[in-house]
Amino acid sequence: MNHVRCGAGAAPREKREAKALRAKASTLFAAIIRPFSVLVAALREIFDESAYSRFLDRRRVASSQAAYREFLREGETAKARRPRCC
């Protein structure tokens, strides 16, 4: 059987099937990765890593012991200003 070749030596039909398979794999990969990325983002918020990153961006400083100490001090000051209920 004599196939007309295209691309890197693959027959036209094989190329379309490979493209469809890659699209399905990409969709499946995204469906698997999405919940994990949401979980990681939630954990970063829970453990204040995201807040610390925002603090560093806002202050335009690199991560250091002094910067983290200031971050903690700022957080304690904000908590002290909040009105307490009951």
Residues 3-47 have pLDDT tens digits of 555 556 655 666 788 888 888 888 888 888 999 999 999 999 999
Give the pLDDT of residue 68: 96
Does the pLDDT value for residue 2 go beyond 60? Answer: no
- For the record, the structure tokens of 80 come out as 């002290």
The model's confidence at residue 54, banded by pLDDT at 50, 70 and 90, is very high
Give the start-to-end residue ranges of the domains of the chain.
Answer: 11-47, 50-81
Q: Where are the alpha helices (DSSP H) in the chain?
A: 12-46, 49-59, 65-81
Residue found by looking up tokens 């469906």 in the block? 31
Residue found by looking up tokens 């700022």 in the block? 74
Residue 21 to residues 2, 8, 10, 26, 59, Cα–Cα distance (Å)? 25, 17, 15, 9, 47
Give the pLDDT of residue 19: 82
| pTM score of the predicted model | 0.59
Residues 54-74, mean pLDDT to the nearest whole number: 96
